[in-house]
Amino acid sequence: MKQIISVFTFSAILFTACTGSSNKTDEQTAANMDMQHAEEGQLHENGEAMHQHDQEMGNAMEHDMDSTMIIVQDSKSTALVLDAYLKIKNALVEDDDKAAARAGKDLVNAFDNIDESSVSPEKMGELKDIVDDARENADHISESQGNIEHQREHFDMLSTDVNDMISIAGADRSLYRIFCPMYNNHEGAYWLSESRDIKNPFFGSKMSDCGEVSSKIVVE
Amino acid sequence: MRRLRVIALIAIIVVAGIQFIPFKRNVSKEIPSSDFILHYDPTEEVSDVLKTSCYNCHSNNTIYPWYSKIQPIGLYLEGHIDKGKENLNFSEFGTYSARRQKNKLTSMIDQIKEDRMPLPAYTFIHHDAKLSVEDKKEVTGFLESLKDSISFN
């Protein structure tokens, strides 16, 4: 019993970890109190609390399952771009500006593999805009070794570009689009990941578990 | 001792010599229709700030200081201007894609708010280019509203 409750307490803390507001401590205190009650054997009260937690957890999981599914066409042409993009993402998760800069350089080169004329004529112009913008962002990341916050600013814009790019040019793998509500002074930002595990590239080790899956991108 | 004199003499000749090499100047007589101020018509205050604090390195028209005619100082300035224009050129802003415009506005706002731009080395010499708290508020307010008005997709 105690173990179960600790798990819920832990998850309650996890849930609040992202909000970063003052009610964080309140909720944590409440969760701690639940545990105390359990230790005192007040099962009735605690049972109710647990029921509530149960529902919250259930909702959260449902929400996760319900995250929108986005289907993109199967294409090998974006594979190298995605490899390099994910390498940058993982470097930023690890707070490694040098590795991010190296991967940024790979990404600049990888964009040469995107053939803009391979998509429908009405999408061609848009794809070109996306690739030009993304290449510039990758270039900034590669040149900003020693300034990881600047790399992250460009990674934010780059993530939008890569997301929009695969919606036109396709992908060779499933991806998750994850939302961090806190980045950009709480304006929020998205990133793409190869897995649904939350490892935040915008904050790195400072707040690695901030974020939630907003959609799953599936290859047709 | 004699060798030193020779070295000094050569240095003088080289420095004197490079004064005569013609270097390109970032000056254009025309203001294109893609120019940021012309295109978006901000208030006079905002236009003045942009012209004084940004346009010298981020447009096709630099108002050069007298010492820019002395080499290698002029060369050093030219390098800065090239890099500045590559990242953001107000003269060509209207030709950027909506995506790039929006991203540039985001970067401008961040850099102004965090005092990363104009460069400290620039405001050290050009005191009038330093942005006051009001200047920053005025300019970023305008850039924010412009950013919100641009959408792509």
Any A CB within 8 A of B99 CB:
yes
Q: Which residues of chain B lie closer than 8 angstroms to A153, CB-CB?
A: 106-107, 110
B99 and A129 within 8 Å at the Cβ level: the answer is: yes
H-type helices in chain B, by residue range?
2-18, 36-40, 44-53, 55-58, 73-87, 98-113, 120-125, 133-149
In angstroms, rounded to a whole number, what is the distance separating the alpha carbons of residues B136 and B49?
9
Any A CB within 8 A of B71 CB:
no
B110 and A157 within 8 Å at the Cβ level: the answer is: no
| Residues ≥6 apart with Cβ < 8 Å to A203 | A180, A182, A183, A210
- pLDDT at res. A121: 87
Q: Which residues of chain A lie closer than 8 angstroms to B106, CB-CB?
A: 153, 157
The residue of chain B with its CA nearest to that of A163 is: B153
The bridge status of strand A189-193 relative to strand A175-180 is antiparallel
E-strand spans in chain A?
68-72, 175-180, 189-193, 212-219
Any A CB within 8 A of B151 CB:
no
B98 and A129 within 8 Å at the Cβ level: the answer is: yes
Average pLDDT over every residue of A110-128: 88
Any A CB within 8 A of B83 CB:
no
* Averaged confidence pLDDT in chain A: 78
Q: In angstroms, what CA-CA distances link B102 with A152, B84, B147?
A: 17, 18, 6
pLDDT in tens, B23-61: 778 888 888 889 999 999 999 999 999 999 999 999 998
- pLDDT at res. A113: 86
CA–CA min distance A217, chain B (Å): 18
Least confident of A35-49, A121-135, A160-174, B72-86: A35-49
Cβ of B147: how many Cβ atoms within 10 Å?
Answer: 18
The half-sphere exposure of B140 on its side-chain side, counting CA atoms within 13 A, is 18
Q: Looking at the predicted structure, is the pLDDT value of residue B20 above 70?
A: yes
CA–CA min distance A144, chain B (Å): 14
Q: Which residues of chain B lie closer than 8 angstroms to A133, CB-CB?
A: 97, 99-100, 103
Under the banding of pLDDT at 50, 70 and 90, the label for residue B2 is: confident
Burial class (CB in 10 A: 0-12, 13-18, 19+), A50: middle
In angstroms, rounded to a whole number, what is the distance separating the alpha carbons of residues B50 and B58?
10
Chain A interface mutation, best of B99, B117, B140, B150, highest count of A Cβ atoms under 10 Å = B99
The residue of chain B with its CA nearest to that of A139 is: B87
Paired tokens of A75 = 């294409």
Asked casually if ipTM beats, i.e. exceeds, 0.90, the reply is no
B99 and A136 within 8 Å at the Cβ level: the answer is: no
A157 and B97 within 8 Å at the Cβ level: the answer is: no
Q: Looking at the predicted structure, is the pLDDT value of residue A129 above 90?
A: yes
Least confident of A43-52, B37-46, B116-125: A43-52
The residue of chain B with its CA nearest to that of A151 is: B107
